[in-house]
């Protein structure tokens, strides 16, 4: 009972945010707001960050880049249940999208990094991901004159530090927003942007209570919530959620509510990657978060609505990376 109260309080909160936090042009009483394109004010920093994001030499193997697991040609994910790390290690958890990650309240499923910059240092030195060290990654960059010059142009006189590396990557990530989805066009007043079935799906999404947790411009990403409010969620994945960060019993199995922006591209779903399709994910959410069993028709309409959340994907020329030199530490893919 108390759990249901929590959800309806969240719904009230969402409604309050919707009433007061919305730009005048948007459909003012909707719990979801449009995503706006970002204006970049430091193109040099962003260009550098883009190179680093695509550079596999930040990994020990010389083979894994941020883009390996957050592939910008595939919705910013790897479309695997859990990721593949250094030396083909099985990753512990599903890779969330980097698209619109700047809108998250914190980074990671359990929110253990507060900012994109703090997050970016993690994978480079994680033995199960890129398997390098910050010292080695910086040594690689320092051995490449074009990088030395580019860091100098962006940061002034510098020896290249991991702090600058993560700052540049985060600046690039902040540009990875996806405006102009059909749903946003509808929010901004283009009533023809959605079909009847999609609109009915949106009404179901709201009326069923999904917007209690999936709201705001990212349609999620702004709170931590229990996975399994009404019914427990069964999984073999050992992740404990927010509890791992706060050690508060009340946070056990609370996960950051994922953004539903571009969700048609970011399969498979949930922190364990166990829901293969959107239809599965919607069915599980209905049952275990809200105690609702959707008919096949209702499920299909909600899925149709969710597919309207795909926005403009990042688009730019593939960065060409400066070549290594004789001094560059050699890649070590197999140890
Ligand atoms: C081996 C695969 C892999 C690589 C390489 C990798 N990531 Fe990740 N990334 C993940 C996984 C898995 C998670 C979720 C981990 C968790 O929540 O515990 C994640 C989480 C994130 C998040 C948080 C998103 C959210 O919604 O919480 C961001 C941002 C991110 N990674 C950016 C990067 C950047 C930048 C790099 C390169 C420096 C990178 N990742 C390299 C697999 C990878
Ligand atoms: C009580 C809060 C809450 C409610 C209500 C809720 N969700 Fe979720 N949703 C979550 C959380 C938390 C997750 C991540 C759970 C996990 O991976 O362990 C999630 C995950 C999802 C995902 C998977 C996204 C991904 O990238 O993995 C979809 C799709 C989704 N929800 C749709 C819905 C729909 C549709 C409804 C309404 C029927 C709904 N949710 C209701 C909290 C909620």
Asked if 221 contacts 238 with a C-beta cutoff of 8 angstroms, the reply is: no
Q: How far is the CA of 294 from the centre of ligand 1 (A)?
A: 33
Does the predicted TM-score (pTM) go above 0.85?
yes
In 3-state terms, what secondary structure has residue 77? strand
Task: Check if 288 has its Cβ closer than 6 Å to any atom of ligand 2.
Answer: no
Q: What's the pLDDT tens digit per position in 65-90?
A: 999 999 999 999 999 999 999 999 99
Closest CA to 132 of 121, 148, 142, 147: 121
- 72: which 2 tokens? 């910008």
pLDDT of residue 1: 36
3-state helix, strand, coil in the chain (%, to 5): 40, 5, 55
**Burial level of 168, CB count in 10 A (0-12/13-18/19+)?**
buried
> Is 70 annotated for ligand binding?
yes
pLDDT of residue 191: 95
pLDDT of residue 40: 84
pLDDT of residue 28: 66
Task: Check if 64 has its Cβ closer than 6 Å to any atom of ligand 1.
Answer: yes
- Whether 5 shows a pLDDT value over 50: the answer reads no
Task: Check if 96 has its Cβ closer than 6 Å to any atom of ligand 1.
Answer: yes
Q: What's the pLDDT tens digit per position in 236-282?
A: 999 999 999 999 999 999 999 999 999 999 999 999 999 999 999 99
Asked if 279 contacts 287 with a C-beta cutoff of 8 angstroms, the reply is: no
Angle at 218 between CA 216 and CA 224, to 5 degrees: 80
* Nearest-CA residue for atom 41 of ligand 1: 66
pLDDT of residue 41: 87
129 is an active site residue: yes
């Amino acid at each position: 009972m108390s759990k249901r109260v929590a959800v309806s309080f969240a719904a009230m909160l969402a409604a309050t945010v919707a009433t007061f936090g919305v730009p005048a042009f948007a459909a003012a009483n909707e719990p979801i707001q449009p995503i706006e394109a970002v204006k970049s004010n430091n193109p040099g920093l962003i260009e550098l960050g883009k190179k680093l994001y695509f550079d596999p030499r930040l990994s020990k193997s010389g083979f894994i880049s941020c883009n390996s697991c957050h592939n910008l040609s595939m919705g910013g994910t790897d479309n695997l249940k859990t990721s593949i790390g250094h030396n083909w290690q099985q990753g512990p958890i599903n890779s969330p999208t980097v698209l619109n990650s700047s809108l998250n309240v914190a980074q990671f499923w359990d929110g253990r990094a507060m900012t994109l910059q703090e997050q970016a240092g993690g994978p480079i030195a994680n033995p199960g991901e890129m398997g390098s060290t910050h010292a080695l990654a910086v040594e690689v960059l320092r051995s490449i004159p074009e990088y030395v010059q580019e860091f100098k142009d962006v940061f002034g006189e510098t020896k290249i530090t991991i702090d600058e590396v993560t700052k540049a990557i985060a600046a690039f990530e902040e540009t990875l927003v996806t405006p102009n989805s059909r749903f946003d066009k509808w929010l901004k007043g283009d009533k023809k942007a959605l079909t009847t079935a999609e609109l009915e799906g949106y009404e179901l999404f709201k009326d069923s209570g999904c917007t209690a947790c999936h709201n705001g411009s990212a349609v999620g990403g702004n709170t931590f919530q229990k996975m399994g409010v009404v019914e427990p969620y069964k999984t073999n994945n050992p992740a404990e959620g927010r509890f791992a960060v706060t050690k508060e019993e009340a946070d056990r199995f609370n996960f950051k509510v994922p953004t539903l922006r571009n969700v048609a591209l970011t399969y498979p779903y949930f922190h364990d990657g166990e829901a293969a399709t959107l239809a599965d994910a919607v069915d599980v959410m209905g049952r275990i978060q809200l105690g609702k069993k959707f008919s096949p028709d209702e499920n299909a309409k909600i899925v149709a609505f969710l597919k309207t959340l795909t926005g403009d994907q990042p688009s730019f020329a593939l960065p060409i990376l400066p070549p290594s030199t004789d001094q560059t530490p050699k890649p070590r893919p197999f140890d």
